[in-house]
Amino acid sequence: MCQTSPMSSPAPAPARRITARGRLALRLAAAATWASRRTGRGGGSMIGGLVALKVAPDLMSQLAAGRSTVLITGTNGKSTTNRMLAAALDCLGPLATNADGANMDAGLVAALAAAPTAPRACLEVDELHVPHVADAVRPSAAVLLNLSSDQADRVGSVAGIEARLRAGLARHPDCVPVANCDDVLITSIARDNPATVWVSVGRPGSADIESCPRCGGALARGGAEAPLDWRCTSCDLARPTPTWRLDGADLHAPDGAVRTLDLALPGEVNLGNAAQSIAAAALLGVDVETAARAAESISEVSGRYRTIERGGHLARTLLAKNPAGWRESLAMADPDAAVVITVNARMGDGYDLSWLWDVPFERFAGRTVTVTGERAADLAVRLDYAGVVYREAPDALAAIDACPPGPVEVLANYTAMTDLMRAVDAETARGGKDAR
């Protein structure tokens, strides 16, 4: 049963006045979306959004006016947290959300346009896009997950991203951050807002940052006795006292209540995503139990964690797009399963794959490993140096078929995951091997 907290209040009624140019942009976007789907080129949301923004560059502001909007951002976990939070907010009424993970301007416009009368929006946003998106949509809340090295050729340094996010959100003091206090960079972004809701996800933040983002001073960490604690030795930046605290699977709420989370998704990292989604949902007026059940209901996110049955194989898909994400996926992987790794280097992935050398592939020594993808050769070199014996396959489905019967873990980056899902869906549509 959907319940709201006593603090909840109705979202403002949409007061959008779309200009004549904006209406033309939406009509052209709808035509482009229809054409994309008709020709089998994809779902069409991205091309529709791109067309719309070409015609009316301020369309995002027009579509967002009058909505209560929450943004979700960070290096890892955006799509999962967005799905969890959207599932919770759905009980409050119609909602606009980018459930397909299209988190740049075109995808955001498409999501808002798809639910024109919804009074609320829940949007995951690429880290680089948050400042100008916040200017356009004027969010009421922002869920800040984590920051670590990612797509160096596009994103740059994590310190640079921290500075941009901090400056961007500072322009919107009425936007309440729901921030991971275990992460140094996230804390620096959110600490100047006195209304910040601090969440401890129970895991230390990225080791990519060794100095204070505020003053450059050395960071002191808590060590084995207090692994989550940290502070700057030169200024007053330090880990805040959490409002919400995750201890294993137990989520401690501000009122002292404890809710044990039983997620359908694997891994400790998803418990942290759930904790922040629940804290954000509570801030926005959803009862904690309702928000927790919403998080527990999510079993697949844009193909991630999907199970693929092929003959004698039971393959599970795990997204891994940067060193931190790969380490999390390695921790989730079944130690007795065969392994397929598929890597591309397109725009959505980042063209620079030097991060492969920061992934501890040595853990796969002695396992059955099959590699594929457009950059399988780069991956093969890295596995050679890791002492991992591997074989190559022409594509991910062939790689799964080449594994011994039994469980298979498929680790893929963004576009490699998309390629695999399209291949599975196309084969299923043709009546081929079963996938679910």
Tell me the backbone φ, ψ of residue 248, rounded to 5 degrees.
65, -120
CA distances from 92 to 10, 29, 63, 96 (A): 8, 29, 20, 12
pLDDT at 56: 87
The residues that bridge with 231 in the sheet, in sequence order, are 220, 238
pLDDT at 347: 81
307-429 fold: Protein-Tyrosine Phosphatase; Chain A (3.90.190)
pLDDT > 90? residue 177: yes
Q: At what angle do helices 268-283 and 288-297 cross, to 10 degrees?
A: 140
pLDDT > 70? residue 155: no
pTM of the model: 0.89
SS3 127: helix
pLDDT at 372: 97
pLDDT at 151: 58
Sequence-distant (≥ 6) Cβ neighbours of residue 248 within 8 angstroms: 202, 271
State both tokens at 44. Answer: 């069409």
Per domain, the residue ranges of the chain are 67-297, 307-429
Rounded distance between C-alpha atoms, residue 346 and residue 75, angstroms: 18
Rounded distance between C-alpha atoms, residue 51 and residue 68, angstroms: 25
Handedness of CA 163, 190, 208, 384 (dihedral sign): negative
CATH 3.40.1190.10 fits 67-297, yes or no: yes
Tell me, yes or no, if the two domains 67-297 and 307-429 fold the same way: no
Rounded distance between C-alpha atoms, residue 96 and residue 115, angstroms: 5
The per-residue pLDDT for range 200-252, each reduced to its tens digit, is: 999 998 777 889 999 999 999 988 889 999 999 999 999 999 999 999 999 99
Rounded distance between C-alpha atoms, residue 164 and residue 137, angstroms: 17
Which helix H or strand E contains 123, and what residues bound it?
strand 120-124
pLDDT at 42: 65
Sequence-distant (≥ 6) Cβ neighbours of residue 93 within 8 angstroms: 11, 118, 119, 120
Strands 244-247 and 230-232, how do they pair? Answer: unpaired
Rounded distance between C-alpha atoms, residue 212 and residue 191, angstroms: 13
Radius of gyration of the chain from its Cα atoms, rounded to whole angstroms = 22
Task: Calculate mean pLDDT across residues 344-371.
Answer: 89
pLDDT at 430: 80
Q: Which residue has the higher pLDDT, 2 or 404?
A: 404
Rounded distance between C-alpha atoms, residue 172 and residue 157, angstroms: 24
Q: Which amino acid is at 131?
A: P
The per-residue pLDDT for range 44-62, each reduced to its tens digit, is: 667 888 888 888 899 999 9
C-beta separation of 182 from 202 below 8 A? yes
pLDDT > 60? residue 288: yes
